[in-house]
Structure 1
Amino acid sequence: MGTSEFLDLCKKEVVKYTNCHLDKTDKKEIKENDVFVVWNCKTLQNNKALLSTTLFDGMYYEITYNGDKQELYFDAYKKWENKCIKLEEN
């Protein structure tokens, strides 16, 4: 699977997952143009991408394609904290 095809598939999967998990009373859905790629890599027949959406929900998604088995692995994460830790110089 090529990189463009993989990233298009990733965006579709994030849209499906997100719309399925949004609060239905909000009557909001996202589209593929609301999903962006943070990072991606292709090594041999395998692909991996980190994605997020324009929603302010702190979610990000890690999707891996195993080219040997033709399987897609989907992980959804919630960002709980982002902090800076200053290291002392020796």
Structure 2
Amino acid sequence: MNEKEFLDWCKEEVVKYTNNHLDKSDNKQITKDDVFMVWACKTLQNNKALLSTTLFDGMYYECTYNGDKKEMYIDAYKKWENYKVERTVKS
């Protein structure tokens, strides 16, 4: 599977997941144009991509393709917070 095929598949699955989990009373649906790739990597026959959407819901998706088994696994995450951590150097 090449990178374009993998990313298209990832976006399709993120659209399905998102649209199935949106509040139906909001009358909102997303398309593949609303999904963007943050990072992707291909190692041997395997692929991994991190994706998000243009929605302000804090969701983040990790798609992993196992080329040996021809299976993709998707983890859906919610961003809870982002904070700065400074390293202190001991003397």
Please, what TM-score do these two structures have when normalized by structure 1? 0.98
Q: Name the counterpart of 1:73.
A: 73
Q: Quick one: percent identity of the two aligned structures? A: 71
Matches within 5 A, 1:3-14: 3-14=3-14
How many residue pairs were aligned? 90
- Cα shift at 1:89: 2.7
2:51 aligned partner: 51
**Paired amino acid for 2:24:** K
Unaligned 5+ residue runs, structure 2? none
Distance apart, 1:7 and its partner CA:
0.2
| TM-fit CA distance, 1:88 | 1.1
CA distance in 2 between counterparts of 1:42 and 1:55 reads: 27
Q: Distance in 2 between matches of 1:89 and 1:69?
A: 46
AA aligned opposite 1:30: I
1:12-43 alpha-carbon deviations (Å, 9 max, x no partner): 00000000000000000000010000000000
Q: For 1:6-25, what aligned pairs fall within 5 Å after superposition?
A: 6-25=6-25
Query: What is the CA RMSD across the aligned residues, in angstroms?
Result: 0.6
Which residue in 2 is equivalent to 1:83?
83
Give, as a single letter, the amino acid of the residue that structure 2 aligns with 1:80: W
Is 1:40 matched with 2:40? yes
Which whole-Å CA distance do the structure 1 matches of 2:28 and 2:69 have between them? 35
Structure 1 unaligned blocks of 5 or more: none
